Amino acid sequence: MAETYRAQCRWAPDDYLEAHRVGDSVHVDACDEDGMKVCASLTPVDARAFARGILTLADETDGGEAQPNDAPAIAPSPLAPPTRLELLETARQLAPEADAHNLLRIATYLEGSGPS
């Protein structure tokens, strides 16, 4: 089952980042108090590099080092697979000029059930 990871802003209680898997991508969403959402779709390689960079920044900030059993600020929770509508919305954000046929193709790809 897919999981989502969430990091709460320390200064703005309604701002947070979420990361979860969609098909063969890792999506990182930034959400603010007004409900605005920005989504970045990363390859697994880029997601790992980004995560390593965040760990490096944290280590440089407080002089600490991540321990293997460190828990995330908010524990992962089960995440239901995205609905077809959510996949279509993501497809529309990725390809705003695409027609309906191509949006469906992109959504199918994101879902992970597209042609190999």
Q: Could you tell me if 21 and 57 lie in one domain? A: yes
Q: Side by side, which strands form the sheet with 16-22?
A: 37-42, 25-31, 16-22, 3-8, 74-78
Exposed e or buried b per residue across 31-47, where buried means at least 16 C-beta atoms within 10 angstroms of its C-beta: beeeeeeeeebbeeeeb
- Over residues 25-64, the pLDDT tens digits come to 999 999 888 877 888 999 999 999 999 999 888 888 888 7
Q: Could you tell me if 12 and 65 lie in one domain? A: yes
Q: Could you tell me if 73 and 97 lie in one domain? A: no
Q: How many domains is the chain built from?
A: 2
CA distance 35 to 67: 33
Q: Could you tell me if 95 and 65 lie in one domain? A: no
The band of 10, judged by pLDDT with boundaries at 50, 70 and 90, is confident
Q: Could you tell me if 47 and 75 lie in one domain? A: yes
**Taking a C-beta distance cutoff of 8 angstroms, is the pair 29, 12 a contact?**
no
Task: Extract the tokens encoding 13.
Answer: 């209680």
Q: Could you tell me if 62 and 108 lie in one domain? A: no
Domain limits for position 90: 82-116
